[in-house]
Structure 1
């Protein structure tokens, strides 16, 4: 038995997908006999991505605020109740931060990511950065395309390969 543990099986644990995060919030609300509108669960799940504990903590905070104030749980109420948490999330993940981090990781310049160059040494990091921007920010594809050297609305989607190709 000891030798089997020594094999060192390593498993990467990814954050849950959006649909899973919404389902977790709905189930936790149901367990607490709280009516959580689907659009509110989606709003929370879209903005808090890191882990289940963070989601549950945010939901507990919303429920406590709703119970304390007697107000209905709406998107505006959630924005108010989670104001500091949402502000921190938005501050940490920006397209600029993604560009700088990806450029640093691939040892290229941010200007290269924004250029029209199509060599593999630039195209792959650009695709990765654009995919991260799509996943981690609330920007539309045209906005992401603009942030990466003016790739317009028609080019935004074509610059992003299928998810499995980037992963």
Structure 2
């Protein structure tokens, strides 16, 4: 059903139509389009389209979207447009990928660094001791190259957590 509409919009260069269709799929939590959305997420170079897909996947709420989202977030082609992609993880179970998210706390983009910090904060009480330690090590390595205050706050938060549990 949607595929024909997408093809029509794409062939006409109607990106607004494509974006509206994807948003609709997310609103309706239409899992039948999950594979199509993942394929499009991975293949598009259009940041607006990629962000719309990420939000739709988040709205659908299927944790199978985590790996593809992480793959896209860590891809160099998304540098400068990762904030929404990180935001899309909030409603999903991304804890096994926390170590891929942590380095973005030191990002030069306020949106990206703040969103990464919030994702860490959201999972603090679910981290294993090993994950906590690895996150600390990643942040300490980042601090040696980047004097971001948020990195220091994250490191302090991780260290304090270890003694509270």
TM over 0.5: same fold? no
Higher fraction of helix: 2
TM class, shorter-length = under 0.3
TM-score when scaled to structure 1?
0.25
Indicate the structure (1 or 2) with the bigger Cα radius of gyration. 1
